A = this chain, B = another copy of it.
Amino acid sequence: MSTETLILDGKAVSDDLKVKLAVKVEQLKAKGVTPCLATILVGDDPASATYVRMKGNACQRLGIESRKIELKASTTTEELIAAIRQLNEDSAVHGILLQHPVPHHIDERAAFDAIAIEKDVDGVTTLGFSQNAFGFADYPSCTPAAIIAIMDYYKLPIEGKHAVVIGRSPILGKPVSMMLLNRNATVTICHSKTNNLGDIVAQGDIVVAAVGKPKFIQGEWIKPGAVVLDAGYNKGNVGDVDYEACAERASAITPVPAGVGPVTIATLLKHTVEAAERTLKS
């Protein structure tokens, strides 16, 4: 790695967010409101169980209540939606997280869209996506929001830059593209059908990897001085970026782990606290 490369420390960004959140949680409690995140885990995928546990622990450390709903793998779409509706109607619950992926037989989109928009703190609903794309979402998808938060924390400019996003999923590639666009980046969205991917990535002043393939983004593709944000997290604790090789050329890069991941969780907590604050105002 070049000694000049800035390591974008997700832990530092998330700690900064959490310190501010702790104050807000105290203020809410003084007013009789304890922010509460309900997490829903369907089935027994070990990775998903770990994620849910991490989010629950993160809540606990900040004094946010977490309510764990665990449903068996054979849960139907209708049963899952019924569970979500119960949480929608429960005024003690401020945010709802449906851990994904859900088992294949479930209509994930229908389940996401059953979440009331005012409790969609993970930013997964169809309506939430377009509110974010149009620049007025209360709760943008957490990983895209985390990527922007990291750039803002380190004062890395977005406006006028060429951002290349690799991936086009509804909760990552598409929303982060819209957020970068709304911050006045020129945005190129790539995917599995993109020709000459390396040549396109090489144009990126900002490169966002959201492809779900370990070490997929090659060092030789990176424009010298680019900012590289790795939203991937694959088996063996590796991201979507070939870290060592990309860090050689990047001016700034997120590691995996301790890059985008912790900030994503902190963003989820931030949205939960904001959702609790909104119940006071309304």
Contacts and interface: CB of A to CB of B under 8 A. Distances in A.
Interface stretch (A36-44, A55-63, A127-135): A127-135
Contacts of A178: 174
A190 interface: yes
Nearest to A134: B170
Interface in A168-212: 168, 170, 174, 177-178, 181, 184, 186-191, 193-195, 200
A102 B36 CA distance: 42
A244 interface: no
A71 to B, nearest CB: 25
Q: Which of A131, A168, A189 has the most CB of B within 10 A?
A: A189
A200 B186 contact: yes
Interface in A106-129: 109, 126-127, 129
Given A134-B170, A178-B174, A187 B188 contact: yes
How many monomers of this protein are in the complex?
2
B191 A188 contact: no
A195 B134 contact: no
Contact of A184 (B109, B126, B127, B193): B193
A240 to B, nearest CB: 17
B134 A133 contact: no
B186 A186 contact: no
A130 B133 CA distance: 8
A101 interface: no
Nearest to A174: B133
A109 B133 contact: no
A194 B186 contact: yes
Contacts of A130: 126-127, 129-130, 133
Contact of A160 (B134, B177, B184, B195): B195
Given A109-B134, A126-B134, A134-B170, A187 B189 contact: yes
Contact of A168 (B129, B162, B181, B191): B181
A159 interface: yes
Interface of A: 109, 126-127, 129-131, 133-134, 159-160, 162, 168, 170, 174, 177-178, 181, 184, 186-191, 193-195, 200
Given A177-B189, A181-B189, 18 more contacts: A109-B134, A126-B127, A127-B127, A127-B130, A129-B130, A129-B133, A129-B134, A130-B133, A133-B133, A133-B174, A160-B195, A162-B195, A162-B200, A184-B191, A184-B193, A186-B188, A186-B193, A187-B188
11 contacts: A109-B134, A126-B131, A127-B127, A129-B130, A130-B133, A134-B170, A160-B193, A160-B194, A184-B193, A186-B194, A188-B189
